Amino acid sequence: MNALVRRYFYEDANFEEVLVLSEGPERNWNDVERMVPGFPRGWYELSRVPSEDRVDFTRSFWLKRLPFHPIAHAAISDFFNSLDDVGVVLSKKKESWEPQLIYSFMDNSCFFRGLHPSSDEQAEELKDELDFAFPSDWIAFTKIHNGFGKLSELNLLKIQEIPRVRRKVMDMLLKAPQVVKSGDTVIDPSSLVPFFEVSGLSSFQCFYADWYPGNEMGNVYFSGIDYTVSNAALREAWGDNGAFPTFLEWLASYLEGMEIAP
């Protein structure tokens, strides 16, 4: 794994202890499971193979798990072609271990981190709690990582965080100093459900229940700085202004290093 990864885990994040499962003394499955109840067996098996195989196996898992989308699958392939490793790391804080997959770029420019996958029960509980028809491609991604992000930030929200952050977004919309619109359409606060929070900007990428550009619900960018929402009506400028017809198209842009705030 690249130097940025090691600096984050061993210096910047102030973890009490860090274990890279592919390095150092081999730990057996029972020991790891006792340390981290519910630890994915597949992650343990992944840590036992060489780095180039970890990259290839994880790429195959993503492409098999996610619905086919030509733009997204091309971006995912490019993303994995940029990696030198997919590492399985356990980090300890306050006597609790957290497992992560680390996506390390071979040019030492960046890394991504992904948390433990969600369960079917978590996704169903969220849909029932919010009475919201979440896109199937986003649900599929949570089965890969329930929490994902770049460098030190895990901005792609965990399922457990979404109700709290949604209440925050609804409160911001209700208290906005102006009428919030997407193009000429006034935004109903209940129609936006955030799935990505931009650090330090009070801004969010949100599923938009009043926009179905295809078979799935689209998503838009809500700026908490100037209280604007992507204009979903401008098809020719969708990506440029933060509107995406599918979650996977948004994910492709994120993996490619898009500017978060349009």
Tens digit of pLDDT for each residue in 154-205? 999 999 999 999 999 999 999 999 999 998 999 999 999 999 999 888 899 9
Q: For residues 170 and 6, what is the distance between their CA atoms, to the nearest angstrom?
A: 38
Q: Which whole number is the average pLDDT over 207-217?
A: 93
Token digits for 179?
Answer: 């009428």
The answer on pLDDT for 220 being more than 70 is yes
Handedness of CA 25, 18, 62, 110 (dihedral sign): negative
Domains of the chain, residue spans: 3-116, 159-255
Per-residue pLDDT of 12-59, as tens digits, reads 888 999 999 999 888 899 999 998 998 999 999 999 999 999 999 999
Q: Which range, of 126-135, 205-214, 230-239, 243-252, averages the lowest pLDDT? A: 230-239
Specify the pLDDT at position 103: 98
3-state DSSP: the chain helix, strand, coil percent, rounded to 5?
40, 25, 40
Specify the pLDDT at position 104: 96
Confidence bin at 258 (pLDDT 50/70/90): low
Q: State what percent of residues in the chain have pLDDT above 70.
A: 98
The answer on pLDDT for 259 being more than 80 is no
Specify the pLDDT at position 261: 43
Name every residue whose Cβ is closer than 8 Å to that of residue 217 and which is 6 or more positions away in sequence. Answer: 133, 134, 135, 207, 208, 209, 211
When the pLDDT of each residue in the chain is averaged and rounded to a whole number, the result is 93
List, as one string, the DSSP characters of 26-49.
Answer: ---HHHHHHHSTT--HHHHHHHTS
Specify the pLDDT at position 186: 94
Specify the pLDDT at position 24: 80
Specify the pLDDT at position 25: 83
The answer on pLDDT for 3 being more than 90 is yes
CB 168 within 8 A of CB 192: no
Per-residue pLDDT of 91-139, as tens digits, reads 998 889 999 999 999 999 999 999 999 998 999 999 999 999 999 999 9
Confidence bin at 262 (pLDDT 50/70/90): very low
